[in-house]
Structure 1
Amino acid sequence: MKMFYAHSTPDTSKQDWQLLSEHLSEVGRLAKKFAAVFGCGVENLADISGLLHDLGKYTDEFQRRLTGETLRVDHATAGAKLVVEKYQSLGYLLAYAIAGHHAGLANGVNGVNRTSLEDRLKSETYKLSEVWRSELNIPEQLPLPTRFHARQNRNFFQLAFLTRMLFSCLVDADFLDTEAFYLQAEGESNSRGEYPSLADLKPELDSFLSGFKDEGKPVNRRRREILQTVRCNAELDPGLFSLTVPTGGGKTLASLAFALDHALMHKLERVIYVIPFTSIVEQNAAVFRQALGKRGEGAVLEHHSAFIEDRSKDPEAREKLKLAMENWDAPIVVTTAVQFFESLFADRPSRCRKLHNIANSAVILDEAQTLPLKLLKPCVAALDELALNYRTSIVLCTATQPALHECDNVEDSFVGGFRNVRELAPNPEQLYRDFKRVSVRHIGVLDDEALTSMLLERKQALCIVNNRRHAKAVFESIRSEPGARHLSTLMCAKHRSQVLAQIRKDLKQGKPCRLVSTSLIEAGVDIDFPTVLRAEAGLDSIAQAAGRCNREGMLPADECEVLVFNPANEDWAPPVELEQFASVSRGVMRHHADPLSLAAIEDYFQHLYWRKEKELDAHDLLGLIASAGIKGLPFETLSSKFRLIESQQMPVIIPFDDIARKGLDALDYAEGCVGISRCLQPYIVQIPQVAYQALFDAGAIVAKAEERFEQQFVYLANMDLYDKECGLSWDNPTFIRAEKQVW
């Protein structure tokens, strides 16, 4: 019988070539193993997709290609055709995955940049050898799932989600088996290494948390009580949870402790911490590494868009990092909302191969209220589906819990929202009263002169405004005064850390400290001012600002104020969406004596979602899926339209100090750059593409070692554009033009 091969080596005797039947069997086995953790009985579907994904290699043409002939052979369509012919409608679920295992998931009909599945199934393919029938054991009937839970009015969404999950199992299994073959053929061992288990991490975390002392602060005692209660709830069955704790109540470590305990009790495989802002991914990852002790460094994977991908000549280091970031096989993953949610709606193999590792995990959604309104319904549907059918525990972690519950009373319900969400915190209403440390009031319209005066009247005050230009203008008005400070995302993280360290020192010593910042200060920054001035924004943002006021509760609440104001200068008018948030906040503040009470927060979100009902799925993605039918699922269209951030941000490295400069210099001779990438990460500023191009054209930014790394390491060559107090400056005329277009 003729031998058929999946992969070849330079050995023309074919002694070490990989047999096709062995590759297909192993990919099927791995895919089945990955899908088995879903808990909804779909593992046999994954097995079939693995067995048939390379069916088109059972052709003379593909075998000739392996020997070096320059033939182009479509080896994926044959398997897709077979499952549709054999299994009819549900066979399409496997056909999408099989046909797209290299190129990506296509639309069922009307392809965009990729040939649709409909057209692939109509296309001519090379004749298959009958050998496949004796080498592959394919069931006559499609083994239907037995434990899959249907959600009313969401049938096709669930099928599309399942298809993408099966696709994830298939492409990861295919990648891993192919890689293992080539490593063995080259005489190399698989050097991926082993991660510590969650069981290994638990004693380290227990030891770290036991070291916290009250230090005479009532707030510390309450934090410890919250932690104990949350950990006791770890025995609850997997599903949907909320953790509603006021800012400063210790949510970060409490949620990590719950997730770790919960995962161990229910045999979940990892903890995934999803953070809304790239600027604090590293901060939280560092906290977790410290909390997990000696094993923390090897247990925590950071994955976010700002991380510089390694394109070095060190293939082992490059591939190890690439695999870890692509398939999330670490016990603790810290990532961004952009990376997490866009992957759940992605179509490319490299973005989708991690998805099966989200299943059977504990997912902490930090600052859950920051989910983007324009994609809120698709995001909620995806989270709900993970909890319903993929053994994923979802924790909505925030001080300002969004009103995302669906109930029988339509007027008070978020249609298509969560049901049976269990609260982990002990009595959130009582917690709010216990942690009440400030009073909040609206002080009307303020021009910049009045705002400056209010800042200067106070020895220590924080002012938060809604855009970087306003922050710069207010700071310039007080720059010469004692203790004037500025923070924005145009400062690299290293610079911001230094400024924050000095601010904390000045506050502690009672020195003058007047900080003007954008909303980045609200993203988990541990800082404590007696007064906060906040430009109008959403009530959740105001609550976050309040978390920077009297944070440790050392002063009476009536002596510490959060003063909300409406900027008079039209130049600082917020974007339309932010103005809508502010408008809803104004209405809620008029009707609630305490605008930060849980009742006020719920009222705010209910009004916000009611006002923007049609905008909660701005591209009608759920509608597209519902109307598509199983043969027309629009995977490519979904991926192109599901974008949490519309404008592309580009990283620029700031040679801020000797460490950054030495790291850049090392790129000229280093064999690998994984370590250098991590070293340079705190020196990155993200800027919009139009500004990036303007600076590049002006020669203000330059690619380092471009012949080796292309434009992967672009740094600021003209440091005159980096202000020592404000960061990357827009005073340069070239920069001003870009600034006006996008900022």
Structure 2
Amino acid sequence: MNGAENPIYFAKSPDANGHRETVAEHLEKVARWAGTFGEETGQQNAARVAGQIHDFGKYSRAFQEVLVGTRHGVDHAFPGAVFLYRAGKERLRAIIEAVNGHHDGLRSLEAIKPQILENLRTDQVLRCPSGKDASLNGGEEYETAIRAFFRDFPRFSKTDLVMDKEAFSSQERRMLYTRMLFSCLVDADYCVSAAMAVEEPKAPSWDAAIQALNDYRLSLGRGSKANAGLNALRDRLFACCGEAGNGKAGLYTLTAPTGTGKTLALLNFALRQKKRRIIIVLPFLSLIEQTAREYAKILPDIFEDHSQREYDDEYREFSARWDPPFILTTSVRFFEALFRWKPGDCRKLHNIAGSVIVFDEAQSLPGSLTGATLRAVRALCERYGCSVVFSTATQPNFSALPNLEWQPVEICPWHSELYASLRRTRVKWRVQEPTPLETIAAEMAQLDRACCIVNLRKHAKRLFRHLKRLCPKDEVFFLTTDLCPEHRSAQIDCIRERLRAGLPCRVVSTQCIEAGVDLDFARMYRALAPLEAIIQAAGRCNRNGCLAEGGLVVVFVPEAAGRLYPSAAYGKGAMRVKEMLEDGEIDIHNPEHIAEYYRRLFRDARDDEKLTDAIARGSYEDVSQCYQLIDDRCVQVIVPYAGRRELFEEIQQELQRTQCVTPQLLQRAAPITVSVYDRDSCERFAEPLFLPARRGQPPRPSGYYILRPQYAHLYSEDMGLQWPEEEENGIIF
């Protein structure tokens, strides 16, 4: 700031070339890009205004003193919210909340209104909701800032401050509207502040991608080992999805059995919608790995955003913004972004608008979050120009949920015919009496190609140890989350090769094998579970329909002390199956039986009470804390998996050199990381890792541990991470 009459206000300290960006220059750039980002969300004007006002608090002596280093801890975002409140009160709620939170996170107008009124009432320095001092205090300082702002933006008018009424038809939609607006603002601010060369994305060549997809399917057909009838059904489903894709955008379901080629059929739908991007949302990392491998044979550029991805700087920026045309991500990354409150988490949201979103294996949503999740998905379709498909072999009957409007269009209305034609398995329900795991092991030992999926890791360990005593070591495999992701992938590749070669292969697993793993066994054992899990397990049995007599799925109740299920919700689903069996046999190939299961499952379903209350109060922070797709009680342990030993040693060396690890190194370590709940064992056998200190603060806990060198033997090549004398809690991550 210089000059007494008409001072120049600066937005930043001088750059490497000595250039100093003024507040006016910065606001103009951010307003332009925020408005551009808002075009797709239908918020162009509101986003432009938010960009123009967001750093209003930099028109202050306090902030200019920050730039020269004589002052610290100043909040320059809050005064922008105060300026907007003076101009339009509650009518400008969304812009006020977005501007106030663009550094610190979204807070409701109700939460900050007392400080807004206090800030206008007195010239005493106000402590803002962020915990910092307001850069402007009292009427006189605000009037000086307003004069400076209008000198820079003489055309700015209250008539610019128009809001969209329809968006506020419900509290959930109002909050999503604000998050979308917030996203436009923070992405524009980040891009301008980082001096990124933001460009309008080029329209993808969807026609070329459609041709590549058709060529790839032709090549698959020539090498297919599936029977002719199955291939004909796959062709019909593919064509059906293409026809729907040529139609209008909207909310769709695709219901089809496992093994009918849904992965490519869904891509056919998505490409033909010709939206600005395609987002494939999958519940499991194993699904992403397999889907990415297949799609990479068709599409040149696939962006993966998930916890196991190693990022360079460019890839990290893509992860923050989601502007590539084709994205594969996890349910956690996608859904939690819709309910977060921090700038970095919400930055990507505006790029979801105008997309095709495919939810594969859609049955995996937690019941207590389903209502809020589906209402957000409906809003994406109805308000933000998205086309959405929920695809699964076990389509949940979401319309049975209370207080939810859910009327999607089914892409494959003849799916009953599909199920009837694809009876590749028979089910033997052995649930009247518990079955010892020793009995299951003895039966598997007599078979060449068998798999058993159990609900708890402690059951998997017991069964695997029994089986090892009965079979040669190289014929038995263990697959649970005790193995790090890289190790699991290597085990699955080995299993796949043995099955292809016709060699004996017996697998003990938890749910991590149920979806996205294209293995094919003649016999499948499945511990009693929710019906969707049983059907998913059956999808790994006689997958290609090559067994004339069909595959056999044996559903049993393990004879074991303690609980049988990883959670109350999981146990509830299993009990609904048992309840249906009391009324007669369940036909897993009959869509009516599947629908009846979901009717029973959802009959007393309720949204999480804390989440419902947080939404009613409009508390963005509380909503974010309540909306958790995965249990956050676990910690991450980096393990010495032999296949990536050099990475483990690199982390050890960095730890010895600096006593800390960087976030980038932890990201690279994801493939050799195991999630565990036993913190006591972590403290005993592993060393906690810390992130580098900031501004003189002590190093920060990272939530990660690394197995101590003297305990490296606790990670084995056959069973992964096993604590000695572990008290197994049976929780599956």
Deviations 1:258-304 (A, max 9, x none): 21221x2xxx2211111112343333333322332xx2xxx222222
- From 276, 280, 285, the equivalent of 1:278 is 285
Question: Amino acid of the residue matched to residue 44 of structure 1?
Answer: N
Question: Amino acid of the residue matched to residue 118 of structure 2?
Answer: K
Partner of 1:323: 317
CA contact (8 A) 1:470 1:572 kept: no
Partner of 2:398: 404
- From 94, 118, 131, the equivalent of 1:122 is 118
How large is the RMSD of aligned CA atoms in angstroms?
Answer: 3.2
CA contact (8 A) 1:109 1:119 kept: no
Quote the offset at 1:332 in angstroms: 1.7
Question: Amino acid of the residue matched to residue 404 of structure 1?
Answer: F
The answer as to 2:510 corresponding to 1:518 is: yes
Quote the offset at 1:118 in angstroms: 3.8
Distance 1:120 1:645 in 2: 37
Question: Amino acid of the residue matched to residue 583 of structure 1?
Answer: M
Distance 1:23 1:621 in 2: 38
- Equivalent position SS for 1:571: coil
CA contact (8 A) 2:639 2:648 kept: no
CA contact (8 A) 2:453 2:511 kept: yes
Quote the offset at 1:74 in angstroms: 2.3
Change (3 A) 1:465 1:650: same
- Which structure carries more relative contact order (alpha carbon 8 Å, separation 6+)? 1
Partner of 1:140: 158
Partner of 1:352: 346
Distance 1:305 1:722 in 2: 21
State which drifts further: 703-712 or 478-487: 703-712
Deviations 1:632-675 (A, max 9, x none): x2111111211112334433333323543257438858999999
- From 601, 608, 612, the equivalent of 1:618 is 608
Distance 2:648 2:439 in 1: 45
Deviations 1:519-548 (A, max 9, x none): 111021101111111111110001001101
Distance 1:742 1:362 in 2: 31
Equivalent runs, 1:44-123 vs 2, <5 Å: 44-109=45-110, 116-123=112-119
Distance 1:171 1:322 in 2: 16
- From 3, 6, 9, the equivalent of 2:8 is 3
The answer as to 2:445 corresponding to 1:430 is: no
Distance 1:195 1:709 in 2: 41
Equivalent runs, 1:588-607 vs 2, <5 Å: 588-589=580-581, 590-591=583-584, 593-607=586-600
Partner of 2:673: 684
CA contact (8 A) 1:667 1:673 kept: no
Structure 2 stretches lacking a partner, 5+ long: 1-5, 120-125, 127-135, 694-698
- From 710, 718, 721, the equivalent of 2:714 is 721
Partner of 2:627: 642
Deviations 1:398-450 (A, max 9, x none): 11001113xxxxxx56531322x122236111111122211123112212233
- From 143, 147, 156, the equivalent of 2:171 is 156
State which drifts further: 565-574 or 323-332: 565-574
Partner of 2:526: 534
Quote the offset at 1:256 in angstroms: 2.4
Change (3 A) 1:593 1:104: closer
- From 12, 27, 31, the equivalent of 1:28 is 31
Quote the offset at 1:511 in angstroms: 3.5
Partner of 1:113: none
Distance 1:675 1:213 in 2: 42
Distance 1:531 1:413 in 2: 35
Change (3 A) 1:425 1:149: farther
Quote the offset at 1:52 in angstroms: 0.8
- Equivalent position SS for 2:327: strand
State which drifts further: 77-86 or 161-170: 77-86
- From 442, 452, 467, the equivalent of 1:453 is 442
Quote the offset at 1:120 in angstroms: 4.3
TM-score by length of 2: 0.86
- Equivalent position SS for 1:566: strand
Deviations 1:221-260 (A, max 9, x none): 3223222221222122111111111111122222223212
Distance 1:592 1:369 in 2: 22
Structure 1 stretches lacking a partner, 5+ long: 111-115, 184-189, 311-316, 406-411
Change (3 A) 1:738 1:104: farther
Equivalent runs, 1:212-611 vs 2, <5 Å: 212-213=220-221, 215=224, 217-218=227-228, 219-262=230-273, 264=274, 268-292=275-299, 295=300, 299-307=301-309, 317-318=312-313, 320-405=314-399, 414-419=402-407, 421-425=408-412, 427-444=414-431, 445=433, 446-482=435-471, 483-556=475-548, 558-574=549-565, 575-589=567-581, 590-591=583-584, 593-611=586-604
Quote the offset at 1:192 in angstroms: 9.8
Partner of 1:408: none
CA contact (8 A) 1:667 1:704 kept: no
- Equivalent position SS for 2:340: coil
Distance 1:591 1:122 in 2: 68
Percent identity reads 30
Distance 2:450 2:421 in 1: 24
The answer as to 2:639 corresponding to 1:654 is: yes
TM-score by length of 1: 0.85
Distance 1:619 1:243 in 2: 31
Distance 1:404 1:543 in 2: 18
Distance 1:740 1:550 in 2: 29
State which drifts further: 268-277 or 93-102: 268-277
Deviations 1:351-391 (A, max 9, x none): 00011111111111111110011111111111111111001
Deviations 1:667-694 (A, max 9, x none): 8589999998787543332223x43x63
Quote the offset at 1:457 in angstroms: 3.8
- From 681, 698, 718, the equivalent of 2:684 is 698
